[in-house]
Structure 1
Amino acid sequence: MMRRVVIGTAAVSMALTMAACGKAGGSSSNSASSGGNKTIGLLLPENSSSIRYESFDKPLIEAKVKALCSECSVQYNNANNDAATQKQQFDTMVSQGIKVILLDAVNAPGTTSWITDAQKKGVKVIAYDRLASGPVSAYVSFDNEKVGELQGQALVDALGANAKSANVVMINGSETDPNAAQFKAGAHKVLDTGVGKIVYEQSGEWQPTVASQKIGAAITALGKNGFQAVYSANDGMAAAIITALKANGINNIPVGGQDAAPDAIQRILAGDQAYTIYKAYKPEAEGAATIAVDLLNGVSVGGTATASTDSAGLNIPSLLLTPVVVTKANIKDTVIADGMYKASDICTAQYADACKDAKIQ
């Protein structure tokens, strides 16, 4: 297990400092651009299970890089959940002479050789959101075990007085994602003593179709009345799980998720989903962009990466942010108040009455 020293979001915001912009070079943003001494690589893992990468992380990182360094650019690729594709993308960036790469790894345990070889060529890799294996120069994420603890506690709270007698199904994230292992560990810290019993537990591989298959298998094995709540590691899988439950006539049992996806917020308003976990993407993305520009310009990252993570004997400068549980009671004060979504994004005609009840206008 990794040992973390965690700092709060407020402290993170204060720590985000402007980095000096050096000379020239660079290319236009996006994957068509060529490598250059002012190009930062951005490799994100997928876009099928979560909308966050394309809708939030990518544009926020690009905007912050440009704000910090007008002559810098971002070269972006998405691996579509394929580790071999991501390895090719990474190698291409290294061969193009890109010296700083933000990597959100598809298969984090499998990156040691890439990052070691890249380091020998003077490339600095920032592990983004997931802690990639190998000599990374910095790590930017959330306190992921805390995410799991919050998920577990939110599920216990949703069960209320029935928690201690409740059977729970767990559909976890991908086994190649170290974050998923930490979410799972955090959730177990709460659920192992907070509910009656975990009666079925499988990986949904971050894939809604797989999660749907696994919940179907749970229903077959346990029966429609054999469980009273479902832990889902993220919102994409939660959506598929809820659809499968309804198709089998199972309604009104708590199902939780993570990512604060807009459709998850709508499901929470409608009463179909109990909670999600809000990880404020803006401070995460902007913190990563700040560190990337600092590394590109040879500036110390200590002003932003004010925590540390021990991994395989390496003491990695880290920026670790604090997640928040979102339920119907605090949608207005979290994702709406922070500007992640406008009320009009969430309160479509189908959810107008639910928004009114939640005092979201």
Structure 2
Amino acid sequence: MNATIRRRVVVSALALSLAAPLAACGSDHQEAPEGKDHIGLLLPENKSTRYENFDRRIISRKVAALCLECTVDYANAESSVEAQRTQFEALVKKGVKVIVLDPVDARAAKDWVDSAARQGVQVIAYDRLAEGDVKAYVSYDNEKIGRLQGEGILAALGSRAATADIAMFNGSPDDPNAPSFKKGAHAALDGKVRKIVYEKGIPEWSEATAKKEMTDLLNARGAQGVDAVYSANDGMAGGIADALKSAGAKNVPLSGQDAELPALQRVLNGTQSFTIYKEVRPEAETAAELAFRLLRGQSIASLTSTTADNASRTGIPAKLFKAVMVTKANLKGTLVDSGAVRTDLLCTPSVAAECASLGIK
């Protein structure tokens, strides 16, 4: 993160691409009798820029375009499982029959989701696959993202791959997307590198923890004791890059995910090999349309081209979008030319020369 996936107070490339304020869609907090024509939207945290500024607004705008009489009942859990449970149960008590849920903790949500399903409430798992009787799921193909990251590490290593010692910083253990990133990365790396010398899931995707762990590893193995670092997201990559720089380690391929602005600048200056770009708009708009169709009793088959499984249900109708690897070579064509990132914010003095060399103005 979504892959993922993206737990920092930073301005992401995605945020920049959607910087213009979106008009309010009706009122997110208007009351209607017994939740009639209401869609619940529960997002997990407000530390990263995307949820408050973009997912919420895009989903609300799309719902308004589809249904003038509909209202989005929105709440943010601010990283608290208990707060999200209370928010979820309040929507069910109100009579809301469709809830878009991005869970703080997918396993903890199972009891709420199952209880709601027994009361006729349909839950759409958004960005992360919640446990329980979920009606539909919208996200990115997280295993493919992990594989893409692993392949990016191999490409950055080139002929050094077969003799390379790799450190792997996986996503937070409580994030259901993290195992998929890890599985995909291993599918690409296993048998292609010499050894995985370190591997750990970093709680809360913490940049500070990743930096400390990387520092300790370099202290133990020496500045040149790690040949490449798999980081599941850009936030952790920032801490890892700082640790590598402090240790004097050079030419160490480093992965990331989320196309955050600082990561793009690291890609430009060569301290991060690549990041993964996942556009929120199609994911959010699909979730909104799924919610509207379920609210109106319409088929969702045309919106769900595949299926997904959680621990308690198989064959959940799903839409999984594809992500894009962004390197220095394709950053301009992928993000700049499409308007996904503002060049005045990207090309700060520290990377102005790199921008100029790529024709980024």
Q: Give CA-to-partner distance per residue, 1:33-66, whole Å, 9 cap, x none.
A: 5563222222222243x43323432222222222
Partner residue in 1 for 2:150: 152
Distance in structure 1 (CA, Å) of the matches to 2:263 and 2:176: 24
Partner residue in 2 for 1:104: 102
Deviation at 1:335, TM superposition (A): 2.3
Q: Indicate yes or no: 2:90 matched with 1:92.
A: yes
Q: Indicate yes or no: 2:128 matched with 1:122.
A: no
Deviation at 1:200, TM superposition (A): 0.4
Distance in structure 2 (CA, Å) of the matches to 1:250 and 1:73: 53
The structure 1 residue matched to 2:78, chosen from 74, 77, 80, is: 80
Distance in structure 2 (CA, Å) of the matches to 1:239 and 1:127: 29
Instruction: Decide whether the 8 Å contact of 1:38 with 1:73 is kept in 2.
Output: yes
Q: Give CA-to-partner distance per residue, 1:243-282, whole Å, 9 cap, x none.
A: 2222232233111110111221121112121101111211
Q: Give CA-to-partner distance per residue, 1:186-239, whole Å, 9 cap, x none.
A: 000111122221100111121212222222232233222210111111111111
Deviation at 1:27, TM superposition (A): 6.8
Instruction: Decide whether the 8 Å contact of 1:149 with 1:183 is kept in 2.
Output: yes
Report the secondary structure of 1:202's partner residue: strand
Partner residue in 1 for 2:344: 344
The Cα RMSD (Å) is 1.9
Distance in structure 1 (CA, Å) of the matches to 2:51 and 2:233: 14
Distance in structure 2 (CA, Å) of the matches to 1:46 and 1:177: 13
Q: Indicate yes or no: 2:180 matched with 1:191.
A: no
Q: Indicate yes or no: 2:209 matched with 1:210.
A: yes
Partner residue in 2 for 1:10: none
**Larger mean Cα displacement after TM superposition, 131-140 or 242-251:** 242-251
Partner residue in 1 for 2:55: 57
Instruction: Decide whether the 8 Å contact of 2:133 with 2:313 is kept in 1.
Output: no
Structure 1 letter corresponding to 2:327: T
Pick closer, same or farther for the CA change 1:252–1:74 going to 2, 3 Å.
farther
Overall identity of the aligned pairs, in %: 47
User: Structure 1 regions of 5+ residues with no counterpart?
Assistant: 1-25
Instruction: Decide whether the 8 Å contact of 1:27 with 1:34 is kept in 2.
Output: no
Partner residue in 1 for 2:252: 253
Give the TM-score, by structure 1 length. 0.86
Pick closer, same or farther for the CA change 1:116–1:326 going to 2, 3 Å.
same
Partner residue in 2 for 1:322: 322
Structure 1 letter corresponding to 2:307: S
Partner residue in 1 for 2:290: 291
Pick closer, same or farther for the CA change 1:248–1:320 going to 2, 3 Å.
same
Pick closer, same or farther for the CA change 1:338–1:33 going to 2, 3 Å.
farther
Instruction: Decide whether the 8 Å contact of 1:99 with 1:124 is kept in 2.
Output: yes
Give the aligned length.
333
Distance in structure 2 (CA, Å) of the matches to 1:285 and 1:202: 31
Instruction: Decide whether the 8 Å contact of 1:40 with 1:73 is kept in 2.
Output: yes
Pick closer, same or farther for the CA change 1:169–1:134 going to 2, 3 Å.
same
Give the TM-score, by structure 2 length. 0.86
**Larger mean Cα displacement after TM superposition, 38-47 or 179-188:** 38-47
Distance in structure 2 (CA, Å) of the matches to 1:193 and 1:164: 8
Instruction: Decide whether the 8 Å contact of 1:229 with 1:254 is kept in 2.
Output: yes
Distance in structure 2 (CA, Å) of the matches to 1:319 and 1:82: 27
Instruction: Decide whether the 8 Å contact of 2:26 with 2:64 is kept in 1.
Output: no
User: Structure 2 regions of 5+ residues with no counterpart?
Assistant: 1-24
Report the secondary structure of 1:291's partner residue: helix
**Larger mean Cα displacement after TM superposition, 83-92 or 33-42:** 33-42
Deviation at 1:310, TM superposition (A): 3.2
Deviation at 1:129, TM superposition (A): 1.0
Partner residue in 2 for 1:275: 274
Partner residue in 2 for 1:223: 222
Pick closer, same or farther for the CA change 1:276–1:33 going to 2, 3 Å.
farther
Deviation at 1:97, TM superposition (A): 2.1
Distance in structure 2 (CA, Å) of the matches to 1:140 and 1:239: 28
Distance in structure 1 (CA, Å) of the matches to 2:110 and 2:168: 30
Structure 2 letter corresponding to 1:189: A
Q: Give CA-to-partner distance per residue, 1:292-333, whole Å, 9 cap, x none.
A: 111122211112112222333432111111111110111122
Moved over 3 A (4+): 32-35, 310-313
Instruction: Decide whether the 8 Å contact of 1:66 with 1:73 is kept in 2.
Output: yes
**Larger mean Cα displacement after TM superposition, 99-108 or 215-224:** 215-224
